[in-house]
Copies of this chain bind each other. A is one copy, B any other.
Amino acid sequence: MSTRDWRPKYLQLAEELRRQILSGQLAAGTALPSETELADHWDLSRTSVRNAIRMLRDWGLVRAEQGRGTYVRAPRQRVRRRNTERYQWEKDRALLSEEDRRREGGAEHDTGLSVDDLKFHAEYAEQGADEGLAEAFGVEVGTKLLRRTYWTSSRHESAPLSFSHSYLPLDVISSNPDLLDASKEPWPGGTQHQLSTVGVEVDRIVDEIRARPPSPDEAELLEIDSGVSVLTVRKTSIDNDGRVVEVADVVFPGDRTELVYTNKLKRWKT
């Protein structure tokens, strides 16, 4: 450098490392030089090096692992979830034969990955509605709900693509005992078909989208640092009678997810 650089040194280091990562010079999955090495090579204190690395973590470019090293994260391939089309597609599919429903799952619809590339986990438990859920369902606090926890991940990456809790009122689904059995998952046809077995037709689905910092649990599970936000979707399914039949809270890693909604407008009268 011929002229002096007025930016703080830790930022210069952060941007140089960023450049190396984006150019592929530091490939995904490889370790950064250790903090002491960087401090030596750049003639900086370890504090300043850590400051630079914190930038890279906030940018979602690297991930630090205690005792092991700091690793370049996989390139940010965003998963597009086209929810408007997805929900209608799920509804149409609920009327098909089991064979047809088995043919393709919802996660593949989002990711373009085949079923062999995906891992799927489900856990069921019963719980009473807390204040937030009671309000979402329009029922009394303590009303019994089935809580279903899902996570889906690619076989090529350990971090889940999404993580969700889905809640169903027990009194809506109790007439079909299969719906209480987690071992039936992944259920061909998804939630809308499950609800159809107890006579429920979903009329509309409202999605509320937010971004917030991850809880420590979420950061670990999604393999993101606490500086990277999560995208959350509160999905509320309402049946033909205006009754809330499912509430789901879905959490996505904010830096690798894209949600798409298509809003069709009514034609003007000509």
Contacts and interface: CB of A to CB of B under 8 A. Distances in A.
Most chain B C-beta atoms within 10 Å of own C-beta, residue among A59, A87, A201, A254 = A254
A259 B233 CA distance: 9
A78 B203 contact: no
Contact of A265 (B205, B212, B255, B262): B205
Number of copies: 2
A59 B227 CA distance: 9
Given A87-B265, A95-B268, 13 more contacts: A58-B227, A91-B268, A201-B267, A203-B265, A205-B263, A206-B262, A207-B262, A208-B258, A209-B261, A211-B255, A211-B257, A212-B254, A261-B263
Interface string A171-215: 000000000000000000000000000000111111111111100
A240 B258 CA distance: 26
Interface in A207-228: 207-213, 226-228
A154 interface: no
Contact of A229 (B88, B254, B258, B263): B254
Interface string A48-88: 00000000001110000000000000000010100110011
A22 interface: no
Contacts of A95: 268
A4 interface: no
A204 B261 contact: no
A93 to B, nearest CB: 12
Contacts of A231: 209-211
